[in-house]
Structure 1
Amino acid sequence: MKCVVACFVICVLGVAQGVNITACKQDDAACLKASAQAAVPLLAAGIPDMGIASMDPMYIDQVKSLQAGLAMDFRNTNVKGLKNCKVLNLKRFPHRTDLDLKCSVTMEGDYTLGGKLLIMPIEGTGKYRIKIRGVVVKIQLDIDEKPRDGATYWMVKNWNYSATVEKDVHYKFRNLFNGNKQLSDAIHEFANQNWRDIFQDVAPPIVKVVVGRIVTETTKLFNHVPIEELVIR
């Protein structure tokens, strides 16, 4: 990733039941950023009363994809570090919210890889660890409003994102080439020297899953808390 990426869209705005965060006017950028930053560790821990799951660590059952000649299967992944994400920017529009986050995360789990890693053949199955330092995730939520029981709530219609790494990525795959140390060392040296290009090949499926999970939890927040409690009109 992102792994991903990852990051917290559920700190989008304001005050939630049981979460003491200041509500802001939608054009008050400084207030929005500070409010979102204060919400990150609280919401990362989860809000059981709203059915919002803990996201640090975030468990991902499986991410499987084939792209750029590389077959990837990541399983039983735990993503750690999202509670320390920094809010770089938060903007609210009538029907859109833009959120930029900077995070450093570690992903650990089981993997199976086969094909080419850029120009290098790769094959293996075992345990993996990917450390990502300084991934910037820009998330855009398209939002509509819906009335219910005398109040108005936000509804996420669509979302998209982009992710870039400012510092570095370190890869560790155990049991590459059935434990051949010479081949394994060569792949790790290549991967960790070319981490930026490899991140673009390996990370997108994982980042999308992580961001999608966050959007799902956001929807739970929006379903429970009226707009009037999230933003000062």
Structure 2
Amino acid sequence: MLCYIICLFAVIISANCGLAPFITPCETQNDTCTLAAAQAALPYVAAGLPELGVKPLDPLNIPLINSDQGGLSLTFTDNVVTGLKNCKIDGIRHDITKPKQSVVIRCSIDQSGHYKLSGKLIILPVEGEGRYNINIRDIVIKMTSEVRIIQGEDGKPHWHVNKWKHAYQVKTNAHFQFDNLFNGNKILAEPVEAFMNNNWNDVMQEVAPPVVYSIVSAVMDTIESLFKAVPADELAIS
């Protein structure tokens, strides 16, 4: 999910541009140093770097998440995601001489907002509208990406995210709370809530894909803003 933050770290920590004094410089392709420096810098970047046009990632506001597949229609609005600043980086591979980068991140996040559900969740009918909260513990996300050099509006070369993909798996658990299921009918709602939390892994397979994708997309937009603001020659690795 935070692949491009890490790619950014890998560039900045080897540069002499002084854009991020809280990052420890590392030699090129020294993955051990890069991993430690990126982990130390993550909370600072997650808090936002307004001078570079980088929006805060924790909390992360996502206006709309929706999905309509497998018989389940899902809409989340006014979403707030917290916990990204506490993510742990399990692995990182970054070589500026190649366009491909990869990172493995482990996070525990909380997401809340307003929901609207209708259709069938696995085997149970479900409907409702109201406030929701999802707690995800130990979601491991692997991202691979391709970054190219393009000419920026200032006439200088800039990094540009050309394409990316991701995969994820929840290692510990997830907990779901949906207020006002079945219009507040507890007789109908309580069995569905119990089913969700007893079968969290199966529920995550239906609910999580648009959620994770939206979070990754929001992070990508933030990092792309930074790449647009900072010329590549200021991020060059010697």
Question: TM-score with structure 1 length normalisation?
Answer: 0.91
Q: Is the 8 A contact 1:104 1:135 kept in 2?
A: yes
The reply on whether 1:32 has 2:27 as its aligned counterpart is no
RMSD: 1.9
The reply on whether 1:119 has 2:95 as its aligned counterpart is no
Q: Greater CA deviation, 204-213 or 146-155?
A: 146-155
Q: Distance in 2 between matches of 1:21 and 1:226?
A: 19
Matching residue of 1:3: none
Matching residue of 1:197: 202
Matching residue of 2:163: 158
Q: Distance in 1 between matches of 2:141 and 2:237?
A: 26
Matching residue of 1:11: 6
The reply on whether 1:74 has 2:87 as its aligned counterpart is no
Q: Is the 8 A contact 1:23 1:231 kept in 2?
A: no
Distance 1:147 1:114, change over 3 A: closer
Deviation at 1:209, TM superposition (A): 1.0
Q: Distance in 2 between matches of 1:27 and 1:188?
A: 48
TM-superposition CA deviations, 1:161-210 (whole Å, max 9, x none) = 11110000000000001111121110011111111111111011111111
Q: Distance in 2 between matches of 1:24 and 1:156?
A: 23
Q: Quick one: which amino acid aligns to residue 10 of structure 1?
A: I
Deviation at 1:76, TM superposition (A): 0.6
Give the number of equivalent residue pairs: 228
TM-superposition CA deviations, 1:114-165 (whole Å, max 9, x none) = 0011001101000000000000111112011235668643211001111110
Q: Distance in 2 between matches of 1:75 and 1:151?
A: 38
Q: Distance in 2 between matches of 1:208 and 1:82?
A: 15
Q: Quick one: which amino acid aligns to residue 123 of structure 1?
A: E
Q: Unaligned stretches of 5+ in structure 1? A: 1-5
Q: Is the 8 A contact 1:71 1:113 kept in 2?
A: yes
Question: TM-score with structure 2 length normalisation?
Answer: 0.89
Q: Is the 8 A contact 1:135 1:164 kept in 2?
A: yes
Distance 1:231 1:88, change over 3 A: farther
Identity %: 37
Deviation at 1:32, TM superposition (A): 1.5
Q: Is the 8 A contact 1:165 1:196 kept in 2?
A: yes
Q: Unaligned stretches of 5+ in structure 2? A: none
